[in-house]
Amino acid sequence: MAPESIEDLLHDLGNAARFSTGAQIRTSELIDLLIERGEAGIRGYLSLGWDEGRYYGGGFYPTVEFRDRLQALSSGARAGFPGCVSQDFDFLQDPGEL
């Protein structure tokens, strides 16, 4: 059964990290689904508290992937420039900012 709620998506994301079987493929799908949910999905992902060092093997860093996908969807400033969405995402990774 496909996850429907943000809580289900986050649970499945945690399972992918824990069991590592097909983690990169499954995580990519879950990241896309969370981003499709908009602010609630982004805040849900951030609530996991995963930083850029979270690593699944094979060169896959889910938080970096999440941020890069957000940036790719943004029509605002390009990555690395003031006001870009990837800077906003980095800022929100601080639990005190949530």
Residues 79-92 pLDDT 10s: 989 889 988 898 88
Q: With respect to residue 34, please indicate whether it lies within any of the assigned structural domains.
A: yes
Domain of residue 19, residue span: 6-93
**Could you read off the pLDDT of 33-77 as tens digits, one per residue?**
999 999 999 999 999 888 888 777 667 788 999 999 999 999 999
Q: The pTM is what?
A: 0.83
Q: With respect to residue 1, please indicate whether it lies within any of the assigned structural domains.
A: no
| Rounded CA separation 78/94 (Å) | 22
Nearest to 56 by CA among 10, 2, 20: 20
Q: With respect to residue 98, please indicate whether it lies within any of the assigned structural domains.
A: no
Whole-number pLDDT of residue 45? 93
Between 9 and 16, name the one with better pLDDT.
Answer: 9
Nearest to 69 by CA among 43, 38, 24, 32: 32
Number of structural domains found in the chain: 1
Q: With respect to residue 54, please indicate whether it lies within any of the assigned structural domains.
A: yes
